[in-house]
Structure 1
Amino acid sequence: MDKRRLCIALVAAALLSGCSFAPPYHAPVTPLPTTFKEGGAWQLARPADRVPRDAWWSVYRDPVLARLEAQVAAANPDVAAAVARHDEASADLAQARSGLFPTIGAQASVERQRQSDNRPLRGTDQPSVYGANTVDVGISYDLDLWGKVRNEVSAGRAAVQASEADLASVRLSLQASLADAYFNLRGLDAQQQLLDDTIDTYRRALTLTLSRHAGGIASELDVSRAQTQLDIARASADDIAARRALYEHAIASLTGTPASDFSLGAATDAAYLPSIPTGVPAALLQRRPDIAAAERRVARANAQIGVARAAFFPDVSLGLDGGYQSDTLSPWLMAPNEMWSVGPSLVFTLFDGGRRAALTQHARAMLAENGAKYKAAVLLAFQQVEDNLAQLHHLGDEATRQDEALSAAQRTLTLSMSRYRDGVVSYLDVVTAQTTELDTQIAALNLNTRRLLASVGLIEALGGGWSASGATAAPEVQAAQASSMQPRAVASHG
Structure 2
Amino acid sequence: MLLSACGSSGLLTTVGPDYQTKPLKAAANWQAPQSGENNLPTAHQGDPANLNRWWQRFNDPVLNRFLAAAQQESASVADARARIEQARANLVGADAALLPSIDSSIGAKRSSSSFGGAPFVWNQLPAGLQSSWEVDLFGGLARQEEAARSQLESRNASWHDARVSVAAEAANAYLAYRYCEGQVQIVQADTASRRESARLSEIAGKAGFRAPGDVALANASAAEGNRTLLQQQAQCERSIKGLVAMTGLQEPEVRKLLTEAPDRVAKLPIPPAFRIDSLPARVLLQRPDVASAERDVAEASANIGVEQAKRFPKLSLSGNITPTLQNINGGAFLLAQTWAIGPTLSLPLFDAGKRAADVEAARVQYQAAESKFRSKVRTAVKEVEEALVRLDSASQRLPEGRKAVTGYRANFLAVQQLYQVGLGNLIDVETSRRNVLSAEMALKELEQEQVSAWIALYRAVGGSWEAHDDARKIGAASSSAPSSGEPEKPDHYLNHQVDFTGGKS
**TM-score normalised per structure 2:** 0.84
Q: Deviations over 1:96-149 (max 9, x none)?
A: 22112211122344445567859xxxxx9xx98756654322221111111122
Partner of 2:148: 156
8 Å CA contact retained: 1:318, 1:343: yes
Alignment partner of 1:483 is 2:474 = no
Query: Sequence identity of aligned pairs in percent?
Result: 25
User: Residue 445 of structure 1: CA displacement?
Assistant: 0.5
8 Å CA contact retained: 1:186, 1:268: yes
Distance 1:453 1:143 in 2: 57
Alignment partner of 1:35 is 2:29 = yes
Distance 1:109 1:395 in 2: 78
User: Residue 473 of structure 1: CA displacement?
Assistant: 3.1
Distance 2:192 2:346 in 1: 89
Partner of 1:252: 244
Counterpart secondary structure, 1:482:
coil
Cα 1:15–1:395 shift into 2, 3 Å: closer
8 Å CA contact retained: 1:50, 1:467: no
Partner of 1:347: 346
Cα 1:356–1:427 shift into 2, 3 Å: same
Distance 2:442 2:269 in 1: 16
8 Å CA contact retained: 1:136, 1:321: yes
Partner of 1:4: none
Structure 2 runs not aligned, ≥5 long: 260-264, 472-491
Partner of 1:473: 493
Counterpart secondary structure, 2:302:
helix
How do 1:287-298 residues align onto structure 2 when only pairs under 5 Å count? 287-298=286-297
Match of 1:82 among 80, 83, 91: 80
Distance 1:397 1:374 in 2: 35
8 Å CA contact retained: 1:133, 1:328: no
Distance 2:432 2:409 in 1: 8
Distance 1:218 1:347 in 2: 106
Distance 1:187 1:325 in 2: 80
Cα 1:390–1:467 shift into 2, 3 Å: farther
Counterpart secondary structure, 1:37:
coil
User: Residue 268 of structure 1: CA displacement?
Assistant: 1.9
Partner of 1:265: 258
8 Å CA contact retained: 2:44, 2:276: no
Partner of 1:146: 138
Cα 1:386–1:363 shift into 2, 3 Å: same
Distance 2:200 2:106 in 1: 103
Distance 1:207 1:405 in 2: 29
Cα 1:64–1:352 shift into 2, 3 Å: same
Aligned CA-pair RMSD:
3.2
8 Å CA contact retained: 2:42, 2:388: no
Q: Deviations over 1:435-464 (max 9, x none)?
A: 000111011101111111111111101111
Q: Deviations over 1:197-252 (max 9, x none)?
A: 11221122112222322332221121122112211121111111121122212212
Partner of 2:480: none
Higher gyration radius (CA): 1
Cα 1:58–1:135 shift into 2, 3 Å: closer
Cα 1:332–1:94 shift into 2, 3 Å: farther
User: Residue 482 of structure 1: CA displacement?
Assistant: 3.4
Counterpart secondary structure, 1:38:
coil
How do 1:266-305 residues align onto structure 2 when only pairs under 5 Å count? 266=259, 267-279=265-277, 280-305=279-304
What code does the residue aligned with 1:362 have?
A
Cα 1:314–1:477 shift into 2, 3 Å: farther
Match of 1:17 among 2, 11, 15: 11
Counterpart secondary structure, 1:188:
helix
Partner of 1:3: none
How do 1:193-204 residues align onto structure 2 when only pairs under 5 Å count? 193-204=185-196
How do 1:71-220 residues align onto structure 2 when only pairs under 5 Å count? 71-113=69-111, 134-220=126-212
**TM-score normalised per structure 1:** 0.86
Partner of 1:121: none
